[in-house]
Amino acid sequence: MPGTTRFVMMPFGKKPGGSGGTIDFAKQKCLELVSAKQATHWNWYDLTTLQLIEGDAPSALRSFHYASELTPRGAVENFRSVLSNLEFLQRHRAHIARLNEAIATIRSYLPAAGPPTPRRE
């Protein structure tokens, strides 16, 4: 997983090795990255996932749209990766407000991204 998403997808923001970090730590890192001029769509996806987990659904949904617009149109696997993370949250933390809307937002960008990449066996 790119960026700081690994902190998010771990048991709610604990740093690897159990050294005590929190979602606040991950969010601070995301804010530092998106404040930089070289921030990528991945940095924005990390931030927006944290916003969603924290319960700031309006900001999260705006950020999901922004990150999706920054994502290269042909980057189908990027959208699928984000969708996979959100579906993980849906399975394990279904109570997160407006999570279904975030999933629908990312799915709405998939057709515009192009056809699925064939899997190699």
Q: How far does CA 4 lie from the centroid of its chain?
A: 9
Q: Which tokens sit at 112?
A: 């515009």
Q: Within 13 A of 80's CA, how many CA atoms are on the CB side? A: 10
pLDDT of 120 reads 54
- Give residue 38's pLDDT band: very low, low, confident or very high (50, 70, 90): confident
pTM as predicted: 0.73
**In the chain, what are the domain boundaries?**
5-111
Q: For the structural domain made of 5-111, what CATH number should be given?
A: 1.25.40
Q: What's the pLDDT tens digit per position in 83-104? A: 999 999 999 998 999 999 999 9
Name which of 81, 72, 15, 20 is nearest 45 in CA terms: 81
Among the listed residues 19, 107, 38, the one whose alpha carbon sits nearest the alpha carbon of residue 68:
107
Kindly report the length of the chain: 121
d(CA 109, CA 121): 27
Percent of the chain with pLDDT over 90: 50
